[in-house]
Amino acid sequence: MASSLIAALTVTTPHAAVPPALITDGERNGLLAVLSKVPDPRDPRGIRYPLSAVLTVAVCAVMAGASTFAAITDWLHDLDEHARTRLGFVGGVPAGTTVWRLLIRLDAGLLATVLVGWLHARTGPPNPPLPRRYRRVIAVDGKTLRGARREDGRQVHLLSALDTGTGVVLAQVAVDAKSNEIPAFAPLLDAVETVLGTLAGVLFIADALHTQTRHADEVTARQAHLMVQVKANQPTLFKQLKRLPWAQIPVGDRTRDRGHGRRETRTVKAVTVRTPGGIAFPHAQQAVRITRTRIVAGKTSRETAYLTVSLPTGQALPRDLQTWIRRHWHIENMIHVRDVTFREDLHQARRGNGPAVMATLRNTAIGWHRTTGATNIARATRQANRRSHDLITAVTSSHPRMQ
């Protein structure tokens, strides 16, 4: 190992970046057609209402602000006959108990994959066009559904992957009741890969819980990259990063924000460790320190966070790191919307796959409104509720996707 630690560090400097893979062409299929591919768990004998119709109603109702199974049925019953016919109902509509019993029996993971594929296929080309240095960034985070319970009384916890560029939740997996988020990470990668086709070049950002050797190996094996925060759960790595001579390393990027009576400055420093031992975390290419200084009502507070990223300096400049770290907050914003707009924590789903299915429907609704340009989800749901025919037309239409 080098005698001087600072000599073993290289400050991040600009280099050419690998251009991102473009989204492939596809069909913007109507929702009824897409949901017809979901397996029906019911006995074929005596089926009165098509599964695709019930699922389309559930999706549309949540897009219009429905937050419970009962509210989904109410939305359907409030539609006029023409709207019901367009959704696939002829000769009556199901009762609330029928809708509830059907939805809680569905495979929530499969439903999420189908709906995410539909959203992903309908996401139009970016406007303005993506910059040359664009990279798909996916934020990973977990959430406990506080009001929901499993049949054994345990709380329901879900791990989600959010495409920070589109606002669409690409995958969501349920965490085993007797475990934590760590074993669910690999299945989440599988689900994301199913939607995107490949994870090559994708950057995953996760909190300190996922600073795990296996996670780094899993991500790298799929030709993707990982950026994780480092805390005391990895004491050796945390001490190594903290002891780096940050005072001698120049600032790589600094941003300042002002609003809501608060001033905030975020400073990023990034270095590459070239010592024989490298960074004490597999596949890590850079050590990162971000310092947040806030001034509120004349009082100053400072917070320092340490991270590692598996991208080399030429593909992850400090300004890129700054942007990506801030993007990770998008998933927290999405969770906030689920709680505030859809009152998720108050929904006491207790049977079958009900909690995960409702979470999938909420993710789909938020993703839909984001991809259609909405910045205020609550306002978008109210508008969708007032204009139910327009909503039905939008989600059931089918036309070629143009690049």
Q: Would 17 be classed as within a structural domain? A: no
Domain membership of residue 20 (yes or no) is no
Q: How many CA atoms lie within 13 A of 49 on its CB side?
A: 22
Specify the pLDDT at position 142: 83
User: Is 19 contained in some domain?
Assistant: no
Instruction: Give the Cα separation of 235 and 128 in Å (integer).
Output: 43
Please indicate, yes or no, if residue 196 is contained in any of the structural domains: yes
How many structural domains comprise the chain? 1
Q: Which domain holds residue 385?
A: 6-12+25-400
- pLDDT values of the chain reduced to their tens digit, one per residue, 403 residues: 444 444 445 555 444 333 333 333 334 578 988 998 888 888 888 788 899 999 999 999 999 999 888 999 999 999 999 999 999 888 788 998 999 889 988 988 889 889 988 888 877 656 555 666 778 999 998 877 765 556 665 667 788 898 988 888 888 888 876 668 899 999 999 999 988 899 999 999 999 999 999 999 999 999 999 999 999 889 999 999 999 999 999 999 999 988 777 888 999 999 987 655 678 899 999 999 999 998 988 899 999 999 999 999 889 999 999 989 888 776 777 666 776 777 665 556 666 677 888 888 988 998 899 888 888 888 999 999 999 999 999 998 875 443 3
Contact predicate 99/74, CB 8 Å: no
| Within a domain: 160 | yes
CA dist 112 and 191 (Å) reads: 9
Q: Give pLDDT, residue 130.
A: 62
Q: Is residue 18 part of a domain?
A: no
Angle between helices 213-221 and 185-196 (to 10 degrees): 20
Among 311, 290, 334, smallest CA distance to 141 is for 334
What integer pLDDT is reported at residue 4 of this predicted model?
A: 44
Residue 203 belongs to a domain: yes
Residue 351 included in any domain: yes
Q: Which residues contact 339 (CB under 8 A, 6 or more apart)?
A: 345
Question: In this predicted structure, what is the pLDDT of residue 152?
Answer: 62
